[in-house]
Structure formats: C-alpha cells, structure tokens
C-alpha cells in the first residue's frame, strides 16, 4: 500500500479520502493520539486494504452529495472486513446507503457550529455531555437509519446526526470531530480508537525511527543511496535517518543551482561535511541551471526544468560514484497532495520539483526512497529532534526545492537573484534579532517584476518591488498571514530600500492559504 522504505505499523487506521478539505486533519488528530493513520483515495483497491488489514477504517467527508451523478462511492466490501468503521459527514451517507437506510436532500442546510443532543449511551460518546457543540457542513440528511443501527444523536436540522451498530462496530456521524470547532471532537475520536477499536497509543517518533531504519535496511540491502541534500529540514532529517540505516553507503549530493540563499553553499558544506560527517559531494551547477532558466517566466516550467536538471546532475554524480541503486528524497505529505491527486479526488495545485515526470518514472520503477512522504512538517521537526539534530536546524523555515527561482516572479536573471538574496538576508536577520523567527512558520522575500516611481536623495527612481510573505501554520496545508509589529516592518523596509540597489518599494502580503498558496509560484 505504501511505497518504498516506509514502515507500516501493525496497528494503523486507514482513511479513505472522498475529497474533504478536512481529510488531512483526521490523520493529524489520530497521529497526535499516537496511533498511525494513513490516507488513501476512496478508489484504493479493496484487495490491497485487505492484504495489509488495518485496525480500523474511517470514511472521510467530501463536497459531493450522494445523489449527484458520478458521486464517489465506497466498495461495500469494506464493511465485510470485520474491522470497525467510522463514517464522517459524507462517510455517514455511505454507511447509510451500504446498509439500505434512507437519506435525502435537506430543506435546511447546516454549515458551521451546531448543537447535537446525544441520545442514550454509546461507547462513541462516552464522557460527553447530553448537549455538545459540533461543526457541521452538510446539505443532505438521514431520514431512516439502516436496520440494526441506533440513532445516537440529533440536531435542530438533522434528526439523525449520528448512528451506530454496536455489534458490527460501524458508526456514522454527521458532524466533523476532527475540526477544532467541535469542542469534544478529540474525545469522540479517542473513544473510537481506544474503546471501540481497542488500539494502543504506541506510534511515536522513536518507534518511527526504529521501524523506518529497519525498512530502509531491507529495502536497500547492500546497495547505495544518492540523496539530494539542500540543507533544509526535510532533506537533512532524511539524511540523518538514512545514515543511521546504511552508514557510508549514503552519498549526499549538494547541488548549488544558483538560486540558493546568500552564502548557502558555504554554510551547508561546513555544517554537513565538517560537523555531521556526512559523505557529502558538492556540485556547483549554477551556470548550468541559470542557462536552462534563461527566458523562462512560467512557474510550472521553472519547476519542471529545475526538477529535470536535478535528476540529470544526480545521474552524472552516480556514474562518478560507480554504483547507484536508489535515489532518496525528503518528500513530505503536503508535497504529494499538492502535486498530484494520488490521495483522493483533490485538484492538482502545483507540481513540486520532486514530482516531475523524471522522478515519477523512477518512483514507479521502485528506485526512489522517500521515508518522510507520509509525514507532516511538524512531525519531521519532532523526528529531527529525536535523531539528535541541532534545534537551530530543526526549526529552520521551509525553503522550496526550486529555490529563489519561484520567488522571482518572471524571468530568473543573475541580477534579480542578487537583489533577492540581499533583501532576503536582511529580512531573516531582522526577524531573528527581533525574536520572531521561531514564532513564524515561514517568512521570505519575493522579487516582483513591477517597477514603480520613487524618490531617493531628491532624485526620481524607477525601480522594482520586494514583497514580504510571512505566515503562521502547523503543517502548511493551511496558513494565516502573520501580523508583524509596525516597528519591525518599518526597519525591514528601510534597510531593504536603502541597502539593496534596484529596490525602491516594499509591500507586505496579507493573504491566507487558502485561497492563496504560501509560495507565490
């Protein structure tokens, strides 16, 4: 079910994704309870699920109505596996439909906060009050529960807001327990996991390390692994995990693609070769990358070019090594979900450099190891601490694989790179000195190919604009723009305009994700 070098705990929950914006939250809440959860698309083969029998199955919500043409359906064999099932929102209707209950379009739709009235006693609602505040998002309603199912809760607009068959251990709830607005949603999920499914909270980062190291050893055997090391958190944690598993058969290739932060090459070489003792190969391919990017303005084309060039550089270095069995990447879950719809009926948002066709071809052939591909960013940081990495490195803000190329809107030129490097360096320096760096998920500068009139030294200027993007987030799936003190913004703006030649205006991005993405391209 999961691809290469990923450890699969014996006790795990499989979440079938029907396109809900909250599906990732379900996985996160469950993992926070120290139970491993993985997300697969609703059309994932039943035979594969049965082969690796999960301890429980959750059917996510989704934007569809069961009555729409082409609405996603569940293989009803899921309910014959003999494992507990919890249907959430749209998942409730799948349960009702599978067991021949009755539902219809509701006259009054229910979105946002609502109050449910819990009826009787059920292990799903143990410890909850008779009235609970929950988060609803539905336009249909259940009018008759299936035979053998009991009505467990109701609301003003949903006479049947939760159902359950205790003997089959199959449940459905109209509300979203995974959302923070459902006051005791965590208690509902805990009841399902521990009271109904009988699971134990044994999945931790320490156990993840142990099982992942063993999985990597089995996968690699006596082979060699080539890892693209950028110096960021993801690739660094991947390197440490691989080094623990296979030692000096790991070759870390650090490629200077010409679109890195100021002084990044020197810092990476010093940190990983000198202090961490990694088998590091440094390749200065900046001229090569910039040559390929010349004249290119379209964001997706930039990403594809950089991804393709990375693979070619890796292959060339592999030949020099003399033996290359696997390519390793520090791919995270958000990278996968935003690149392609492999996890469910979600739209592709943007491709990532580690999901370009050349990489996907290697993945299909079984030549790619991605030990972090089911983890969220905060989980990777926790993993890094468990591996003994320095806190400064673990807390480092994300930096995109395509680097500054996607923070320069339009064509990437040496002059624009230099301007952005200087502006970004000033920004990060001031944010660190203000004690704000660790409070932010990410903050960075963006070069805009927009020229505006200014006045400097009593002379008219006509220069470019730098945009600052600062956000707070937990896992990068959603993000809010960060409020920064006026004094800090003023100092950053003054320094950039006064010290960076070619910039006469600084603006601050106040859009959240969604609808915007964190990166501009």
- Write out the DSSP string of 380-392: HHHHHHHTT--HH
Tokens of 509: 């991005």
Task: State the catalytic residue, choosing from 38, 89, 374, 382.
Answer: 89
Task: State the catalytic residue, choosing from 4, 176, 352, 353.
Answer: 176
Task: State the catalytic residue, choosing from 38, 110, 132, 178.
Answer: 178
Output b/e per residue, 154-167; b: 16+ Cβ within 10 A.
bbebbebbbbbbee
Does residue 353 carry a catalytic annotation? Answer: no
Does residue 352 carry a catalytic annotation? Answer: no
Whose CA is closest to 283, among 267, 263, 265? 265
Does residue 178 carry a catalytic annotation? Answer: yes
What is the three-state SS of 316-351?
A: HHHHHHCCCCEEECCCCHHHHHHHCCCCCCCCCCCC
What is the helix (H) or strand (E) element at residue 236, kind and residue range?
helix 233-246
Tokens of 268: 């990476």
Contacts of residue 122, defined as CB under 8 A and 6 or more positions apart, other chains included, come to 150, 152, 164, 166
129 burial class (0-12, 13-18, 19+ CB within 10 angstroms)? exposed
d(C-alpha 298, C-alpha 295), whole Å: 10
Cα 211 to its chain centre, rounded Å, is 21
Which residues are identified as catalytic?
A: 89, 176, 178
């Amino acid at each position: 079910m999961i691809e290469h070098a990923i450890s699969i705990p014996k006790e795990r929950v499989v979440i079938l994704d029907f396109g809900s914006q909250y599906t990732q939250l379900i996985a996160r809440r469950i993992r926070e309870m120290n139970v491993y959860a993985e997300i697969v698309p609703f059309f994932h083969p039943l035979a594969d699920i049965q082969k690796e029998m999960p301890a429980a199955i959750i059917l996510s919500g989704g934007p569809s109505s069961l009555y729409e043409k082409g609405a996603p359906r569940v293989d009803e064999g899921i309910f014959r596996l003999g494992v507990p099932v919890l249907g959430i929102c749209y998942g409730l209707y799948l349960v009702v439909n599978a067991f021949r209950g009755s539902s219809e379009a509701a006259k009054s739709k229910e979105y946002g906060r609502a109050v449910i009235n819990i009826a009787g006693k059920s292990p799903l609602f143990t410890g909850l009050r008779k009235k609970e505040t929950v988060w609803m998002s539905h336009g249909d309603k259940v009018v008759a529960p299936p035979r053998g199912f009991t009505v467990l809760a109701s609301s003003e607009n949903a006479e049947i807001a939760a159902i359950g068959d205790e003997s089959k251990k199959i449940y459905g709830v109209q509300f979203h327990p995974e959302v923070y607005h459902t006051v005791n949603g965590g208690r509902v999920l805990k009841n399902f996991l521990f009271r109904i499914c009988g699971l134990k909270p044994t999945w931790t980062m320490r156990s993840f390390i142990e099982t992942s190291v063993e999985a990597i050893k089995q996968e690699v055997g006596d082979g060699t692994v080539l890892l693209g090391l950028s110096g960021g958190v993801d690739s660094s944690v991947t390197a440490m995990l691989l080094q623990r598993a296979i030692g000096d058969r790991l070759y870390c290739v650090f490629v200077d693609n010409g679109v890195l932060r100021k002084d990044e090459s020197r810092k990476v070489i010093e940190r990983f070769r000198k202090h961490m003792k990694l088998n590091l190969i440094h390749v200065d391919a900046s001229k090569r990358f910039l040559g390929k990017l010349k004249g290119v303005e379209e964001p997706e084309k930039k990403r594809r070019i950089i991804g393709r060039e990375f693979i070619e550089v890796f292959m060339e270095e592999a030949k020099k090594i003399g033996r290359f069995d696997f390519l390793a990447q520090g791919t995270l879950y958000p990278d996968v979900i935003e690149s392609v719809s492999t996890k469910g009926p979600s739209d592709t948002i943007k491709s990532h450099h580690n999901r370009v066709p050349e990489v996907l071809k290697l993945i299909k052939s079984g030549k790619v190891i991605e030990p972090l591909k089911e983890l969220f960013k905060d989980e990777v940081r926790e993993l890094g601490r468990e591996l003994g990495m320095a806190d400064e490195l673990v807390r480092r803000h994300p930096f995109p694989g395509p680097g500054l190329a996607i923070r320069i809107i339009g064509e990437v030129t040496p002059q624009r790179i230099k301007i952005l490097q200087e502006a970004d360096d000033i920004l990060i320096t001031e944010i660190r000195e203000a004690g704000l760096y660790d409070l932010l998920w990410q903050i960075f500068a963006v070069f805009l190919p927009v020229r505006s009139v200014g006045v400097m030294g009593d002379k008219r200027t006509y220069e470019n604009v730098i945009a600052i993007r600062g956000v707070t987030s937990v896992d990068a799936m959603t993000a809010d723009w960060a409020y920064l003190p006026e004094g800090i913004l003023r100092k950053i703006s003054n320094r950039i305009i006064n010290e960076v030649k070619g910039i006469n205006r600084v603006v601050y991005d106040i859009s959240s994700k969604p609808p915007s993405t964190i990166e501009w391209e």
